[in-house]
Structure 1
Amino acid sequence: MSTFTILLGGDLIRTPLLDRQIEGTRVIAADAGIGHARMLGVMPELWVGDFDSVPADLPDDLAAVPRQVFPPEKDQTDGELAISAALERGATSLVLAGAFGGKRADHAFLHLALAVRLAESGMDVLLTSGAQEGIPLLPGKAGFGYADGTLFSVLGFSDLAGLSVTGAKWPLDHVEVAFGSSLTISNEVKGRLEIALGRGRALLLAHPYPLPES
């Protein structure tokens, strides 16, 4: 497998888990995402975008990363262009780092939806901010090794049918979930989390690290 980390412009914190997830991967930065490279201690092989959001005071080695420049009037976001570049280089697995938060909610939504579409095409995709991570759910059954108490939600991108959740504080048994329902929001891991989906498009959003107290 060839795993690429795509540095996106959303929020990102460095954690031991994130370090393990990106260790040994090839790296491509999407415009402002280059700013995460120094924090993570990685060197992108390519920097993609229209370069309208370049961070100030980049160190010389990052400023010298080879660029693939696109005009501002384009049909794809910088993030999607960076993902396309990774696919052209043989990516079979993607870590989308900085996929959540930031100033552009529309870009964050795109990353979620695009991850689901890529997973449907056979690509392994992980979205992460360091503090939370997303994994597309395909029809079938999948298990996850999260610790007890981990907060998670199942985000539906369509009506869901045959959804079962075990190893959770609030289990579900072969239920139907209408698109836009909050039924699958804010659950907690209790044991070995397993999710089965009969039909629909969904994404698991988990918080492997405790949320700060409000």
Structure 2
Amino acid sequence: MSTFTILLGGDLIRTPLLDRQVEGSRVIAADAGIGHARMLGLIPELWVGDFDSVPADLPDDLASVPRKVFPAEKDMTDGELAIAAALERGATSLVLAGAFGGKRADHAFLHLALGVRLAEEGTKVLLTSGAQEGVPLLPGKAGFDYAGGTLFSILGFSDLSGLTVTGAKWPLNHVEVAFGSSLTISNEVKGRLEIALGHGRALLLAHPYPLPES
């Protein structure tokens, strides 16, 4: 398996879990995502984008990363271009670091939807901000080794059918979930989390570290 980390421009914090997830991967930065490389101690092999959001005062080793420059007026985001470059280089697994938050809610939504599409096409995908992470759910059964008490939601991108959730505070047994329903928001891991999906498009969004108290 060839794993690539794509550094996107959203929120990102460094955690021991994130370090393990990106360890040994090849790295491509999308425009402002190069700023995360400095925090993570990574040197990308490629830097992609229109370079309208380049961080100031980059160290020489990052400023000299090979660039693939695109015009500002284009029909793909810098993030999607970086993902395309990784797939061209043989990526079979992607860590989309900085996929959430940031100044552009439209880009964050795209990353979620794109992650699901890529998974359907056979690419393993993890979306992460360090504090929370997303895993596309395909029809079938999947297990997750999150600690007890971990908060999670299942985000539906369509109507869902045959959804079963075990190892959770609020289990579900072969239910139908309408698109836009909040039924699967804010659940909690109790034991080993297992999710089975009969039909539909969805994504598991989990908080592997405790949320700060409000």
TM-score range, shorter chain: over 0.9
Q: Secondary structure at the match of 2:204?
A: strand
Partners of 1:89 and 1:139 in 2: CA distance? 28
Percent identity between matched residues is: 90
Structure 1 portions without partners, runs of 5+: none
Extract structure 1 runs of 4+ deviating beyond 4 A.
none
Partners of 2:211 and 2:6 in 1: CA distance? 24
Partners of 2:174 and 2:2 in 1: CA distance? 35
Deviations 1:52-98 (Å, cap 9, x if unpaired)? 00001111110000000000000000000000000000000000000
Q: Secondary structure at the match of 2:34?
A: helix
Q: Secondary structure at the match of 2:47?
A: strand
| 1:173 Cα deviation after fit | 0.2
| 1:136 Cα deviation after fit | 0.1
Partners of 1:148 and 1:213 in 2: CA distance? 18
| 1:134 Cα deviation after fit | 0.1
Deviations 1:135-167 (Å, cap 9, x if unpaired)? 000000000000000000000000000000000
Q: Secondary structure at the match of 2:117?
A: helix
Q: CA RMSD in A?
A: 0.3
Q: Secondary structure at the match of 2:166?
A: strand
Q: Secondary structure at the match of 1:203?
A: strand
Structure 2 portions without partners, runs of 5+: none
Partners of 1:96 and 1:67 in 2: CA distance? 19
Partners of 1:50 and 1:165 in 2: CA distance? 42
| 1:187 Cα deviation after fit | 0.1
| 1:126 Cα deviation after fit | 0.1
| 1:125 Cα deviation after fit | 0.1
Aligned to 1:48: 48
| 1:119 Cα deviation after fit | 0.2
| 1:177 Cα deviation after fit | 0.3
| 1:104 Cα deviation after fit | 0.2
Normalising to structure 1: TM-score of the pair? 1.00
Partners of 2:59 and 2:211 in 1: CA distance? 32
Aligned to 1:207: 207
Partners of 1:189 and 1:119 in 2: CA distance? 24
Q: Secondary structure at the match of 2:58?
A: coil
Aligned residues: 214
